[in-house]
Structure 1
Amino acid sequence: MPDLLRPHPTAPHVTAADLGRRGIRSAPAEITDRPDRTDRPDGTGGSVQSVDRALTILKLLAADGELGVTEIAGLLGVHKSTASRLLATLESHGLAEQLPDRGRYRLGVGVLRLAGATRSRLDIVRESRPVTGPLAAEVGETVNIVILSGTETLYLDQVAGTSALQIHNWIGRRNPVHATANGRVLLAHASSGEAEAILGAASTSSGRLRAITPHTITDRVALAASLESVRRDGYSVAVDELEIGLTAVAAPVRGVDGSVIASLSISGPSFRLDAARIPQVVGAVRGAASAVSARMGYLAPSSGRP
């Protein structure tokens, strides 16, 4: 029997957890180690399953970079011949390509064409609303979407929470970058040239950063440490730095290429967003920022192979 048709003895049975660890959802009708013989001309059963499996392969390649036929068959829980046939179909449409030196597969340029057609229509305010609306209702505080604009931050969108006290509408408002949680998230991921321009605009004649309140970070060394914390931990907190009595927690929103394109934050009165509540808010902000990033086309790296 040719090796391509021989059942792989060590191919693991796929589970929801296996795919879930890669952030992949799939709904196979019935996964088996036997060759797939369910594709029928009447369009029922196996044809839908094959589409599901092909889409899962694309997600696996996106998460892992490169995979071999045996690995893909094992992750899907199917025979190698089934995986080979699905890969050949994807390759014929330019959605997957085989590396000539190792025989492994990666995403093809056809995926980039499809992504480009979608990316041009993505709008961060529109794409974030299904996330920021429920988040504001859940936490009861204001949720903001903020970008860099020159050497300042610019508020693109804001969704008010259900709490009685709310800050005023900041859509269209510009704020200093160094004095806000959103600004530090964006500054932490800016290019060196952008960062220097931003800090230059925010500096006084003495070289220190401009104090907006007595709590604003004005020392460049302290700010650099704060930015390193943002890059390491994935969020920023600002307490009373822009306004006395105002606290904000922010996390980065990434685009399809992985670059930080915006910041998502929860802001509210410092007496409500106190030290005891901050850890809960951090989790909510990071989760929401990840959800918006996914809607903007970003695919988080694989968390590790099972």
Structure 2
Amino acid sequence: MTRKQSQVEPDAPDAPDAPVSGKQPRGTSGAVQSVDRAVSVLESLARHGEAGVTEIADELGVHKSTAFRLLGVLENRGLVGQSKDRGKYYLGAGVLRLAGAAAVRLDISQEGGPVCRELADELGETVNIAVLDEDMAVNIMQARGAASVTAQNWLGRRTPLHATSSGKVLFAQLPPVLREGLLARTLPRFTAHTITGTTALRAELEAVEDQGFAVAVEELELGLAAVAAPARAHDGKVIGAISVSGPVFRLTEENLPALAKRTVAAAAELSRRMGHGF
């Protein structure tokens, strides 16, 4: 496919680059400066949503023709687009392509490590990151706080979606056909508090979507309570859940709302690390 050609305004000479010490190939400093300016254009559009040539030129401190040339190159690459009615520029679909390629390489367990450790140190409880594994949730990252030194090891353990806080988060985000298929199954009951009825569980999952977090109190094991929130990829898709778990005498009904708020904040930070919100 032939790239579209931008109509470029007549160039005006830019101020010459300052001399660069050391031995560099001719034109190297100018090329680096152009790359730096192009990145600055993208960052500017990310902040403002859209901007005209004059606005971008003013922000970069360059001549209008230089800003026009930069925008032309970025538009040819699909990294920016131009509104035909107002002439404003905005980030193009090519940015999503690059973001997607980068996000694939971001390992949620690696990026989640610092988030888990900080949250565990702050709350003193066990913090896990779980991802979907067919019809189960599997814990791929764990950090323990000072108060949870005797807690069992959840790392690598597969847990049912309907009976855990992380599982409910992942369950709620399944495509409707898959979610309804699982709801139609006969689900195992682990304690008297496990939600197994289709109507009750569907209502529970709808509540998870509405409030942005899930709670499980003695649904998998007696004496165990947990709260979890979704972690998202760059495109907003839920790719995991971060949870805080501990004994019911510490994770009480009174402090669960505050704990949920902090867990949601940690999930937002993990999502940011995974490229969400940029």
TM-score by length of 1: 0.71
d(CA) in 1 for partners of 2:64, 2:199: 54
1:51 Cα deviation after fit: 6.9
1:257 Cα deviation after fit: 1.2
Residue 163 of structure 2 aligns with which residue? 179
Counterpart pick for 1:284 among 253, 262, 271: 262
Instruction: Quickly say closer, same or farther: Cα 1:43–1:271, change in 2 above 3 A.
Output: farther
1:182 Cα deviation after fit: 0.8
Identity %: 40
Q: Does 1:295 align with 2:273?
A: yes
Count of residues paired in the alignment: 250
Larger radius of gyration: 2
Residue 41 of structure 1 aligns with which residue? 17
Kept after mapping to 1: 8 A contact 2:46/2:91: no
Unmatched 5+ stretches in structure 1: 1-37, 204-208, 301-306
In the TM superposition, what whole-angstrom CA distance separates every residue of 1:127-163 from its partner, at most 9, and x where no partner exists?
Answer: 1112111111111111111111111111111111111
Residue 121 of structure 1 aligns with which residue? 105
Kept after mapping to 2: 8 A contact 1:166/1:268: no
Residue 82 of structure 2 aligns with which residue? 98
Unmatched 5+ stretches in structure 2: 1-13, 21-32
Letter in 1 for 2:161: V
Residue range with higher mean Cα deviation, 95-104 or 177-186: 95-104
d(CA) in 1 for partners of 2:230, 2:69: 38
Residue 52 of structure 2 aligns with which residue? 69
What SS does structure 2 have at the residue aligned with 1:163?
A: helix
Residue 4 of structure 2 aligns with which residue? none
d(CA) in 2 for partners of 1:165, 1:121: 33
d(CA) in 2 for partners of 1:272, 1:39: 65
Residue range with higher mean Cα deviation, 188-197 or 50-59: 50-59
What SS does structure 1 have at the residue aligned with 2:242?
A: strand
Residue 241 of structure 1 aligns with which residue? 219
1:263 Cα deviation after fit: 0.7
d(CA) in 1 for partners of 2:139, 2:73: 45
Q: Does 1:213 align with 2:196?
A: no
What SS does structure 2 have at the residue aligned with 1:273?
A: coil
Give the 5 Å matches for 1:251-266. Answer: 251-266=229-244
Kept after mapping to 1: 8 A contact 2:125/2:145: yes
Letter in 1 for 2:223: G
Kept after mapping to 2: 8 A contact 1:142/1:166: no
In the TM superposition, what whole-angstrom CA distance separates every residue of 1:29-63 from its partner, at most 9, and x where no partner exists?
Answer: xxxxxxxxx9762289xx799678535324226xx
d(CA) in 1 for partners of 2:202, 2:241: 18
1:294 Cα deviation after fit: 1.1
